[in-house]
C-alpha cells in the first residue's frame, strides 16, 4: 500500500511574531536516505523519503529500534546518511557547518540533559551565550522563556537541576532548546521518564505551547496516545521504513498491520495484560 507523504496544511502562528514562512514551505527533507552501521546486517533506515513543512508538529511513532532517533540524528547531522541526502532549509546537512546547524536547531531529550553545575538561567542561556549575545539580552530572553514554560524566573533562575522535580527539569530543557529562537525543535521522547500524572500535564502544556509558537517540531515517541494528542501529522516507522503517514484523525483508519498493532494498545482494559 502506498501512502501520501505530503503533510497536512497548518494554520499555527506565533502571536506578535514577524510574518512566518508559508506553512506549505518545506523546511526539512529526506531524499531516499539509508543509514547503516558497520557490523549490522540491516540498515537502521532504509530508502526513506520524507518532507516536513514549516510549523507542523510531526510525530515519529514506532517501536524501539524502528529508526525514530536515528532520523533525528540525521536531521541535526549527528549522523550522515550512507546513501541519499538530508536537507535542512534547502541545504544538505553535509554542507552545513555541524556546530552552526546544531545551534540552529533546538533539541530536547529524555530527562532534559541539563548541565548539573549550571544554574537554570545558565542552562537556558547557554546557546545565546555561545552565539555571543549581549548579557542583558540573554537575561531578558532567559526570563521570557522560563515564564513561557511555567517557571517563575525569580524563583527558579538560580536553582541547580538537582533542586528541580523531573517535570521542572523537562520544562527547563524545552526553554533551553528555545534559547536562540530556532525555527526547528527536535524532541526525543522528552516526557518518557516522567510519572503518568506529570507526563499528562506536560503533554497538555506542550500541545498549547506548540500552537502558540508556530515552530516546526519533530517529536519521537512510542506512545500512540501521546502521538494522537500532540501531532499535526503522525509518521509510523517499522524497521527503518515509513509504513503510514496521516493526520491524527485519519491515522487509525489506515489498514496496515503495524497501525492495527498500535491501535490495539488503546484498547487495553485496566487489569488486563498489556
Listed in sequence order, the residues at least 6 apart from 8 whose beta carbon sits closer than 8 Å to its beta carbon are: 56, 232, 233, 247
Q: Identify whether residues 178 and 190 lie together within a single domain.
A: no
Q: How much is the average pLDDT of 8-28?
A: 50
Domain with residue 193: its CATH number is 3.40.50.300
pLDDT for res 9: 31
The sign one gets for the Cα dihedral 149, 57, 97, 83 is positive
**In the listed set 182, 207, 231, which residue is the last one of a domain according to the structure?**
182
CA separation for the pair 123, 116 (Å, rounded): 9
Residue 33 β-bridge partners: 48
Widest Cα–Cα separation across the chain: 57
Q: Identify whether residues 150 and 193 lie together within a single domain.
A: no
Residue 2 resides in a domain: no
Residue 9 resides in a domain: no
Q: Identify whether residues 94 and 202 lie together within a single domain.
A: yes
Q: Identify whether residues 81 and 192 lie together within a single domain.
A: yes
Residue 36 resides in a domain: yes
Q: How much is the average pLDDT of 199-207?
A: 90
Q: Identify whether residues 37 and 141 lie together within a single domain.
A: no
Q: How much is the average pLDDT of 45-70?
A: 96
Q: Identify whether residues 162 and 99 lie together within a single domain.
A: no
Computed on alpha carbons and rounded to an integer, the radius of gyration of the chain in Å comes to 19
Q: Characterize the bridge pairing of strands 83-88 and 216-221.
A: unpaired
- Cβ atoms of 71 and 46 within 8 Å: the answer is no
Mapping DSSP to helix (H, G, I), strand (E, B) and coil, where does residue 124 land?
Answer: helix
pLDDT for res 192: 84
Looking at the structure of the chain, the number of domains it has is: 2
The per-residue pLDDT of the chain, averaged, comes to 88
- Cβ atoms of 238 and 228 within 8 Å: the answer is no
Q: Which residue has the cell 494554520?
A: 11
pLDDT for res 147: 95
Kindly indicate the confidence band of residue 268, based on its pLDDT and cuts at 50, 70 and 90. Answer: low
pLDDT for res 23: 61
Residue 122 resides in a domain: yes
Kindly indicate the confidence band of residue 270, based on its pLDDT and cuts at 50, 70 and 90. Answer: low
Does residue 112 carry a pLDDT above 80?
Answer: no
Q: Identify whether residues 214 and 121 lie together within a single domain.
A: no
Q: Identify whether residues 198 and 227 lie together within a single domain.
A: yes
Higher pLDDT among residues 161 and 41, named by residue: 161
Provide the domain limits for residue 152: 115-182
Kindly indicate the confidence band of residue 195, based on its pLDDT and cuts at 50, 70 and 90. Answer: confident
Residue 20 resides in a domain: no
Q: How much is the average pLDDT of 32-46?
A: 92
Higher pLDDT among residues 195 and 245, named by residue: 245
**In the listed set 143, 166, 182, which residue is the last one of a domain according to the structure?**
182
Kindly indicate the confidence band of residue 238, based on its pLDDT and cuts at 50, 70 and 90. Answer: very high
Q: How much is the average pLDDT of 12-29?
A: 57
Kindly indicate the confidence band of residue 22, based on its pLDDT and cuts at 50, 70 and 90. Answer: low
Q: Identify whether residues 42 and 151 lie together within a single domain.
A: no
At 179, give phi and psi (nearest 5°).
-50, -50
Residue 186 β-bridge partners: 107, 218
Residue 12 resides in a domain: no
Residue 217 β-bridge partners: 57, 185
Q: How much is the average pLDDT of 259-266?
A: 92
**In the listed set 145, 161, 182, which residue is the last one of a domain according to the structure?**
182
pLDDT for res 40: 84
Q: Identify whether residues 164 and 34 lie together within a single domain.
A: no
Kindly indicate the confidence band of residue 19, based on its pLDDT and cuts at 50, 70 and 90. Answer: very low
Cα 78 to Cα 11, 17, 46, 60, 71, distances in angstroms: 31, 30, 18, 18, 10
Kindly indicate the confidence band of residue 265, based on its pLDDT and cuts at 50, 70 and 90. Answer: confident
Q: Identify whether residues 32 and 93 lie together within a single domain.
A: yes
Q: Identify whether residues 130 and 263 lie together within a single domain.
A: no
pTM: 0.86
Amino acid at each position: 500500500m502506498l501512502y501520501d507523504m505530503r503533510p497536512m496544511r497548518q494554520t499555527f502562528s506565533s502571536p506578535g511574531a514577524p510574518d512566518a514562512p508559508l506553512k506549505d514551505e518545506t523546511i526539512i527533507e529526506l531524499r531516499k536516505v539509508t543509514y547503516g552501521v558497520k557490523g549490522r546486517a540491516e540498515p537502521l533506515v532504509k530508502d526513506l523519503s520524507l518532507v516536513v513543512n514549516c510549523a507542523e508538529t510531526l510525530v515519529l511513532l514506532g517501536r524501539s529500534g524502528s529508526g525514530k532517533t536515528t532520523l533525528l540524528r540525521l536531521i541535526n547531522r549527528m549522523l550522515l546518511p550512507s546513501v541519499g541526502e538530508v536537507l535542512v532549509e534547502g541545504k544538505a546537512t553535509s554542507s552545513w557547518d555541524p556546530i552552526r546547524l546544531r545551534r540552529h536547531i533546538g533539541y530536547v531529550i529524555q530527562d532534559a540533559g541539563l548541565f548539573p553545575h549550571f544554574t537554570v538561567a545558565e542552562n537556558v542561556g547557554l546557546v545565546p551565550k555561545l552565539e555571543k549575545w549581549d548579557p542583558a539580552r540573554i537575561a531578558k530572553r532567559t526570563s521570557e522563556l522560563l515564564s513561557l514554560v511555567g517557571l517563575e524566573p525569580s524563583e527558579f533562575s538560580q536553582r541547580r537541576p538537582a533542586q528541580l522535580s523531573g517535570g521542572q527539569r523537562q520544562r527547563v530543557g524545552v526553554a533551553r532548546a528555545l534559547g536562540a529562537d530556532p525555527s526547528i525543535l527536535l524532541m526525543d521522547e522528552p516526557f518518557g521518564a516522567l510519572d503518568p500524572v506529570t507526563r499528562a500535564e506536560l503533554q497538555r502544556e506542550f500541545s498549547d505551547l506548540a500552537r502558540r509558537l508556530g515552530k516546526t517540531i519533530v517529536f519521537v515517541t512510542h506512545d500512540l496516545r501521546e502521538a494522537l494528542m500532540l501531532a499535526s501529522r503522525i509518521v509510523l516507522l517499522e524497521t527503518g521504513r515509513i509504513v503510514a503517514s496521516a493526520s491524527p484523525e485519519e491515522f487509525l483508519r489506515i489498514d496496515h498491520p503495524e497501525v492495527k498493532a498500535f491501535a490495539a494498545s488503546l484498547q487495553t482494559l485496566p487489569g488486563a495484560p498489556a
